[in-house]
Chain A
């Protein structure tokens, strides 16, 4: 399906027939294995459209930038759930949107592929069925797609978007669904000694340069002024130290509770390859366990942090 003429044609037709002002999808990027999000605004644009196993970035992030326009958007399972959350939070209106669903094949771990096969170029990974053929330096190598999925995608149980206006055919490549869960991915850490956990996060987060890519890519980090940017009060110190890094990640996760759709875009965007799935996975698994809630599955169930139940757990009140 990568850059296929069929995909371009389908999207072009939708764009014209539905009289859309723009259509948000993916186009080939300038760095290897990293398609870029693109807003197509003219029929001629669509020749650049691609969809492959590297289209990780959640496109719902871009919806708020096009208010009062009729927008089309390509949605995988997690993008679709993010749209639902944005509708619930009154950030976008369903009637302004034309949703083009694509059954997600599970997204690939670009960073790992590039580490194991240095020098890979865009198009250096051919996807077919459940295998990947990688154009390595000394000839093609075959890999199981399932082994190279991103952690968030390994845990995903909602790959096929629901309630879309047009559903595309499933791409001719995919990995089997869910071989783990967010609870399982983070449960190992819960089981560690406290000191080990502290050292693990001290180590991983010591690489954080506070570039805020993880915030900027997230569909739900849309506050006009982020707590990291306020000067009065200045929650973050001007010369950040470990306390500030902790403050940032901890509070971002608190803000994600009951909203994060575990799309993995933040982990994907991080230039330092910090395993952010360990953080959003934890808060998302806790919300599921404590409040029996998964974000973005339907518009009518209220978000857990905006209400309460008399029978909520109180094991933490002492």
Chain B
């Protein structure tokens, strides 16, 4: 993905990469589409078999390759197609989110949620919300780029 910050002609819009579980949130996004709900078009959806398929590598790499924010969304607890994938992911994600914040990454950049196949409205709303939160913190400049003087070298 071409980093958004490199196209200087058009104003910056937050780019969100959304990892969506095929059994719920992906269908929720589909429902938002067929219901003709509007949400920011700068979202890139990546289909995954389960929220627990999403590895910390994927989240970090998305940010490194030009995303400004990442969403991972799966089935509500109890609804997982594989019974417990989302519960395993929940454990992993809380550590991930805390470590990211600890190392100085804005909390708004990575978000987790549960969205079912029937929640098209919730999906569109969530994407709008994330986009605004990411807009507030600005384009992602890369990890370990903020020095004491707040100088970015790219």
Contact = CB atoms under 8 A, between A and B. Distances in A.
Contact of A314 (B90, B95, B104): B90
B91 interface: yes
Interface stretch (B7-15, B21-29, B30-38, B105-113): B105-113
Contacts of A223: none
A250 B60 CA distance: 9
Given A197-B102, A198-B104, A203-B148, A247 B143 contact: yes
B56 A250 contact: yes
A303 B102 CA distance: 23
Interface of A: 186, 189-190, 194-203, 205-206, 227, 235, 241-243, 245-247, 250-251, 253-254, 257, 282-283, 286-287, 290-291, 304-305, 307-310, 312-318
Nearest to A309: B87
Interface string B74-113: 0001000000100110111111111111111110000111
A205 B147 CA distance: 12
Nearest to B85: A308
Contacts of B95: 254, 257, 283, 286-287, 290
B47 interface: no
Given A199-B104, A247-B60, A318-B113, A282 B99 contact: yes
B99 A247 contact: no
Given A254-B95, A308-B88, 15 more contacts: A189-B102, A196-B104, A202-B145, A227-B57, A242-B145, A245-B144, A246-B144, A250-B60, A251-B60, A282-B102, A305-B92, A310-B87, A316-B94, A316-B98, A317-B114
B91 A312 contact: yes
A246 B143 contact: yes
4 closest cross-chain pairs (CB), A and B: A198-B104, A246-B143, A242-B144, A197-B104
Contact of B147 (A189, A203, A246, A307): A203
A236 B110 CA distance: 21
Nearest to B149: A199
Interface in B40-84: 56-57, 60-61, 64, 77, 84
B146 A199 contact: yes
B138 interface: no
A245 B146 CA distance: 14
Contacts of B104: 194-202
A316 B106 contact: no
B98 to A, nearest CB: 5
B113 A201 contact: no
Chain A contact residues, majority secondary structure = helix
B144 A254 contact: no
A194 B90 CA distance: 24
B146 A198 contact: yes
A194 B103 CA distance: 8
B150 interface: yes
Nearest to B77: A310
Contact of A308 (B91, B113, B147): B91
9 contacts: A194-B101, A227-B57, A251-B56, A283-B99, A290-B91, A305-B88, A308-B87, A315-B94, A316-B94
Contacts of B88: 305, 307-308
A308 to B, nearest CB: 4
A202 to B, nearest CB: 4
A254 B92 contact: yes
Contacts of A312: 87, 90-91, 94
B112 A250 contact: no
B71 to A, nearest CB: 10
Most buried by A among B64, B84, B113: B64
B146 A202 contact: yes
Contact of A247 (B64, B90, B148): B64
A206 B143 CA distance: 11
A202 B144 contact: yes
Contacts of B94: 286, 290, 312-316
Most buried by A among B97, B102, B106, B144: B144
Interface in B92-144: 92-106, 111-114, 142-144
A257 B94 CA distance: 11
